[in-house]
Structure 1
Amino acid sequence: MDASADSPSVAALLSRRSLSIRTPRAPAAGADDSAAEEEPVTPNARLMESIYIVISMGLGSPLNMAVFSAALDAIVVRFPRFQSIQVTDGSKDGNPRWVQVTVNVHDHIIVPTLDPAAVEADPDQAMEDYTASLLTLPMDRSRPLWEFHFLDFPTSEASSTVLIRVHHSLGDGVSLITLLLASSRSAADPTRLPAMPKQPARAGAIYEPPARSSGAGALLAWAWSYFLLAWNTAVDVAFFAATIIFLRDPDSLFRGEDDGMVHRSRRFVHRSLSLDDVKFIKNAMNCTVNDVLVGVTSAALSRYYFRNSGDTNAKKICLRSLLPVNIRPALGLQTYVNMIESGKSSKVVWGNQLGYILLPLHLAMQYDPLAYVHKAKKTMDRKKSSLEVLCTYKTAEFFLKKFGLKAGSLISRGMLGNTTMTLSTMIGPAEKIEFCGHQVAFIAPSVYGIPQALIVHYQSYNSTIKVILSVDDEIFPDYGELLDDFSESFVQIKDAASRLSKSIKKK
C-alpha cells in the first residue's frame, strides 16, 4: 500500500490530528481523585502492554460517515473504559490507574488516503496492506486507546470496511465482542438485540461436577470423577509450570529463531467456512463445534508442514497451542445490556478475564481426514476434565499481586515463547446485525504484539465461521497457501463426514 503522490501519508494524517485531551502531571489542587484511585489498572491489563486487538468488520453498504459517527458517539459514553486513559502521576504506589477524560469521537476516527490505482487494481490486497500497516502506526496514549479506521471502497466480501483497533488493556476479545453486540441490533428487526446461539448453562468457568446419584456404583463413579479431576489438574499444572520455566516446543516451520520476541511484521488474512457444514461434521461425529475446529487446525497445519518440510516421520511431531478461555459465567447478552442501560455497567466483568490451556496439536499424514477430529475430541475431552484454566488464571493473578509485574512478565513470556501458536474461538450472533446504522457482512477479530509467529482465531457470525490468521510474513511468506490449507482440510473432513453419514444411514 502506497500513499498517492498528492496525498498526505497515513502517518502524517495521524500526527496532524489534534489531541482531544490534555493530562496534567498531577491532580489539580482540591480535585477529588478518589474515583480514579478506585479504578487501578489490573495486573492482567498491565501484562497486555504490547498487545492490540484488530477487528475487521465488513459492511454491507457504502459508508455513511455522519450516521456512523453519531451512533458511535452514543455508544462510547456508555462504556467507561472507552473514556479512560492510564495515568501514573500522583498514584500513591506508583501503579497506573484508569482516569476518565473528555472524549471527542472524531479524534478516534481515521479515514486514510490510499493510492487510488492500487485500490482499483486489487482492493482486497489494498485492504490487507493497510491492515498490516497498523503495526507501524503508534497510538496516542494521551487519549483512550481505541480507533476506527474507515476504508470506503468495495472488496470481494463487503461494500466498505471498518478496522477497529483497541489496546488489549481495555478488554479481552470476549468483552469487546460483547460490547459490539450490545451496541448492535438485529438486521431483520432493528428494535431488538441480535439473536445469539444457545450457550451451555453454567455458573462457573468451564468445569461442572457431575450430579451425585444414589447407589454404590453411582457413588463410585462420582468419587472416581473427582479423583480424575484432581489428577488431570495436577498433571496439567505441572506441565504448564514446566513450559513457563524450560519446556519448549521443538523448532519447526511454525516458529522463528527469535520466538519469545514480539514479531513486528504481520499479515492478517481470513476465509469463510460454512457453519452448517461445521455442525454437520459435529453431528456426524458426535462431538462439539470446538472439536471440529481444533481438528481442522491440526489437519491444516499437518498439510502445510509435510508439503513444505518433506518430512515423512509423523510419530514424533507434537506442537502446543495456547488456548485462552473466558472464565466469566455464561450470561446471556441481554443480561449485559440490562446492566449497561440501568447504569450498573460496573457490575459487568469487562477487562481481561482469561485462563489458559496448553492444547497439544499432533501433526500427522492421516489417511482418514476424520482422524484429526477424533484426536481433537479425545484431547478436548481430556482437558474438560481438568481445572487447568482456573489454576492458570489464579496462579498468574497471585504472582502478579505478590511479586509484581516482572514476575507476571516472566510467566507470560515463558508460556508464549515456549509454545508454537495461540488458538482462539469466539461465538458471534446467529443472524445478521446492524452496527451504527450499517448492516455487517462479516466480523474478523485478530491480535498483534504476541511473541508467536502464528495466531489462529475462529469467529462465528450468522451462517459462517471465519478462520482468521495473524502471521509473521517473514516466517510464512506463503501465508496465502497456509490459509488455503485450512479451506482444503475443512472440505476433506466435510466430505469424509458425508461418506460416514451415508454409511450409517445404509446400515
Structure 2
Amino acid sequence: MEIRTRRGRPHIPEIRVEKKEEEEEQPLSPAARLFHAPEFNCNIISVVGLKSKIKPAVIIDGIKQTLIRHPRFSCKLVESGNNQRREQKWVQTKVVAEDHVVIPKIDMHNIENANADAFLDSYVSDLTTIPLDTSKPLWEVHLLDLRTSDAENVAILKIHHSVGDGMSLMSLVLACTRKTSNPDELPSLPNQKSSLSGSRSYSRLFWLVMALWSVAMLVLNTVCDALEFIATTMFLKDTETPIKGNFRLSTSKRMCCVHRTVSFDDLKLIKNAMQMTVNDVILGVSQAGLSQYLKRRYGEQEEPMPKGIRLRAALLVNIRPATGIQDLADIMENGSNCTWGNWIGYIIFPFSISLCDDPLEHLRRAKFIIDRKKNSFEALLTFIVGNFILKSFGVQRAANILKRALSNTTMSFSNMVGPIEEISFYGHPVTYMAPSVYGHPHALTMHFQSYMNKMTVSLTVDPTVISDPHRLCDDWEESLRSIKAAVQEKSCTH
C-alpha cells in the first residue's frame, strides 16, 4: 500500500495486488454460486453521503488506482454448460472504469429538501430492479449531483454479493479512503475490548469448575441452537405479522431502501449506564421500535396485538478472523490469496415483542438472549454446515434449504463498526454511510453502520408488505429517546 501524490489532486490510496498467471480464471466459491441462484440473487447497495460537490474525474481516477486493481473487481462472471452441470468462473478482463460509473442527469430546479430525500429513496429503489451487467465485473458506482437534507452530494455503490461479504467490501471501501485530517493515514476503527473481567484471586478449583461449566453450557447451547435451526428449516415458522412477507406468493422485485442517522453518543451513554455493548443496545432499541410499530399496524387493522408473537431475525455474523483497519487493508493488498470472499454465519435471534412499562426491560431481554447466543457455536456451525451442503448436494439444494429456513423467520439484521474519525472518499469528505443488502427472502432488513459520532440505521423493505418504512424509522428513533430518558432518570435516582 502506498500513497501517490498528484499536483492539484487529493491523496488517493493505491491498492497493489500481484496477479498470478493461474489466477486468470478461478471457479466461483460455493457461497458465491449460492448468491447467483434465483432464490438468492443478492446485491449489496451502499449510499454514501458526501460533504462536498462531486468531482467525477477525481473519483474515476481514484477507482482506476484502487478498485479495478483488486482481482474480484477486474473479473467478470463466465458461465458454461446447462442447468444440471453449469460451470461458473471468474475470468480476468480489461476494466474500463468509466463503464462502471453512472452519472445521471438530475433536474434540481424542482427538487428541494424533502423532495431530494424522496428522489434519492426512489432512485435507490429503482436500482434494486435493474440487474448488474454480467458482461463486465459485477459492480457500479453512481454519482448523484443531488443535495439532500444530510449531504451535499451522494455516491451509491452497488456490488453483487458474490464478489464478497460485507466485511470484505467494507475493508475495500476503507482501503480506498484516508482520514480527512491526515490524507496519509488509514481510517481508525474502535478498539474491540473484551467484555470478560474479574478477579484473579479465586482458587484453581473455582476456575476449573467454571471452565467445565462453561464448556458444558457451550455444548448444550450449540446443540439447542442447531436443533432450532433444523426445526426452522422443516416446520417452525414465525407468527404471520404485518411485517412478515410470504415469499411463496410474492412477485415483487422492487425493494425500498431508507435510512435514518442518530447520535452514536446516545447509544454509548446507554451502553455505559447499563454495562452492556453497543450491539446489545441496538438490539434492545430495535426490539422496542418493532413492538411500537406492530402496535400501530395492528391498531390500523382494528385488531389487538396478539401475545406471544414469534418474531425472529437472522443475525449475520462475520466468521473471518480479522481485526483492525490495518488488517483489513492487508487483506486488500494480498487479494484472493487471503481471506477474501463470503465468510458469513447466521444466528437466529428471537425478538421479544411486547409493550413494556419499563423501556429498559427491552435492553435486559435483548442482552440476556444475545449473551446466551455468544456462548454457542451457532454462527460457526451454520457456516460450516452451509458449505458442506453446498459442496455435497449442490447449489440448488442448498438454496432451497436456506430459503426455506429464512422464509420461516421474519427479518435480517446486521451491525458493522465504522471509522471513528472523518474519512474522505477520493478527496470527498464523507458525512454518512448507509449500506444494506437485498435479494434474500425477507421483507425487512435492518442494518446499522457506525461512523464518527453517528449511527446510521438502514432499512430495506418490501413495499408491498411495509409501505411506510419511514414510520418504522420514527418508532426506532422514538424508542431510543425513551430508553435514553429512562437511563438518565435511573442515574439521577441513584
**Shared topology, TM-score over 0.5?**
yes
Conservation of the 8 A alpha-carbon contact between 1:51 and 1:448: yes
Count residues in correspondence.
463
Post-superposition shift, 1:219?
A: 1.3
Conservation of the 8 A alpha-carbon contact between 1:260 and 1:413: no
> Of residues 151, 162, 171 in structure 1, which corresponds to 2:164?
171
Please say if 1:302 is aligned against 2:291. Answer: yes
> Of residues 129, 134, 137 in structure 2, which corresponds to 1:136?
129
Paired residues for 1:58-69 under 5 Å: 58-69=49-60
Partner of 1:52: 43
Conservation of the 8 A alpha-carbon contact between 2:294 and 2:305: no
3-state DSSP of counterpart to 1:279: helix
Q: 1:258 & 1:340 partners in 2: Cα distance?
A: 37
Conservation of the 8 A alpha-carbon contact between 2:32 and 2:163: yes
Post-superposition shift, 1:215?
A: 2.6
> Of residues 285, 292, 296 in structure 1, which corresponds to 2:274?
285
Please say if 1:320 is aligned against 2:312. Answer: yes
Paired residues for 1:73-472 under 5 Å: 73-89=64-80, 94-120=86-112, 122-200=115-193, 215-258=204-247, 263-310=252-299, 312=304, 315-338=307-330, 340-341=332-333, 344-472=334-462
Partner of 1:4: none
Relative to structure 1, the CA distance from residue 166 to residue 118 in structure 2 (aligned partners, 3 Å threshold; closer, same or farther) is: farther
Q: Which amino acid aligns with 1:217?
A: F
Post-superposition shift, 1:120?
A: 3.9
Q: 1:339 & 1:41 partners in 2: Cα distance?
A: 19
Partner of 1:35: 23
Post-superposition shift, 1:113?
A: 2.3
Relative to structure 1, the CA distance from residue 87 to residue 279 in structure 2 (aligned partners, 3 Å threshold; closer, same or farther) is: same
Post-superposition shift, 1:36?
A: 4.0
Conservation of the 8 A alpha-carbon contact between 1:110 and 1:148: yes
Conservation of the 8 A alpha-carbon contact between 1:448 and 1:470: yes
1:14-56 CA distance string (max 9 Å, x none): xxxxxxxxxxxxxxxxxx985345x220111111121111100
Relative to structure 1, the CA distance from residue 183 to residue 260 in structure 2 (aligned partners, 3 Å threshold; closer, same or farther) is: farther
Q: Which runs of 5+ in 2 are unaligned?
A: 1-19
Conservation of the 8 A alpha-carbon contact between 1:249 and 1:320: yes
Relative to structure 1, the CA distance from residue 457 to residue 260 in structure 2 (aligned partners, 3 Å threshold; closer, same or farther) is: farther
Post-superposition shift, 1:201?
A: 7.0
Q: Using the aligned pairs only, state the percent identity.
A: 40
1:461-482 CA distance string (max 9 Å, x none): 0100111111111211222211
Post-superposition shift, 1:451?
A: 1.4
Relative to structure 1, the CA distance from residue 118 to residue 46 in structure 2 (aligned partners, 3 Å threshold; closer, same or farther) is: farther
Conservation of the 8 A alpha-carbon contact between 1:300 and 1:485: yes
Relative to structure 1, the CA distance from residue 135 to residue 379 in structure 2 (aligned partners, 3 Å threshold; closer, same or farther) is: same
1:192-215 CA distance string (max 9 Å, x none): 11111112479xxxx9xxx9x863
Post-superposition shift, 1:101?
A: 0.5
1:261-310 CA distance string (max 9 Å, x none): 67412211111111111011011111110000000110000001112213
Q: Which runs of 5+ in 1 are unaligned?
A: 1-31
Q: 2:251 & 2:407 partners in 1: Cα distance?
A: 9
Conservation of the 8 A alpha-carbon contact between 2:260 and 2:457: yes
Partner of 1:9: none
Conservation of the 8 A alpha-carbon contact between 1:199 and 1:330: no
3-state DSSP of counterpart to 2:87: coil
Q: Which amino acid aligns with 2:442?
A: Q
Conservation of the 8 A alpha-carbon contact between 2:311 and 2:352: yes
Post-superposition shift, 1:117?
A: 4.8
Q: 2:391 & 2:250 partners in 1: Cα distance?
A: 25
Relative to structure 1, the CA distance from residue 201 to residue 225 in structure 2 (aligned partners, 3 Å threshold; closer, same or farther) is: closer
Post-superposition shift, 1:72?
A: 1.2
Relative to structure 1, the CA distance from residue 262 to residue 396 in structure 2 (aligned partners, 3 Å threshold; closer, same or farther) is: farther
Q: TM-score with structure 2 length normalisation?
A: 0.89
3-state DSSP of counterpart to 1:489: helix
Conservation of the 8 A alpha-carbon contact between 1:260 and 1:451: no
Conservation of the 8 A alpha-carbon contact between 1:263 and 1:453: no
Conservation of the 8 A alpha-carbon contact between 1:314 and 1:364: no
Q: 2:124 & 2:204 partners in 1: Cα distance?
A: 61
Partner of 1:19: none
Conservation of the 8 A alpha-carbon contact between 2:116 and 2:148: yes
CA RMSD across the alignment: 2.3
Q: 1:90 & 1:477 partners in 2: Cα distance?
A: 41
Q: 2:21 & 2:57 partners in 1: Cα distance?
A: 36
Please say if 1:475 is aligned against 2:462. Answer: no
Conservation of the 8 A alpha-carbon contact between 2:171 and 2:332: no
Post-superposition shift, 1:136?
A: 2.3
Q: 1:43 & 1:200 partners in 2: Cα distance?
A: 33
Post-superposition shift, 1:147?
A: 0.4
Relative to structure 1, the CA distance from residue 332 to residue 266 in structure 2 (aligned partners, 3 Å threshold; closer, same or farther) is: same
Q: 2:392 & 2:483 partners in 1: Cα distance?
A: 47
3-state DSSP of counterpart to 2:237: coil
Q: 2:277 & 2:357 partners in 1: Cα distance?
A: 22
3-state DSSP of counterpart to 1:136: coil
Q: 2:222 & 2:251 partners in 1: Cα distance?
A: 30
3-state DSSP of counterpart to 1:77: helix
Q: Which amino acid aligns with 1:35?
A: E
Q: 2:242 & 2:73 partners in 1: Cα distance?
A: 39
Conservation of the 8 A alpha-carbon contact between 1:237 and 1:388: yes
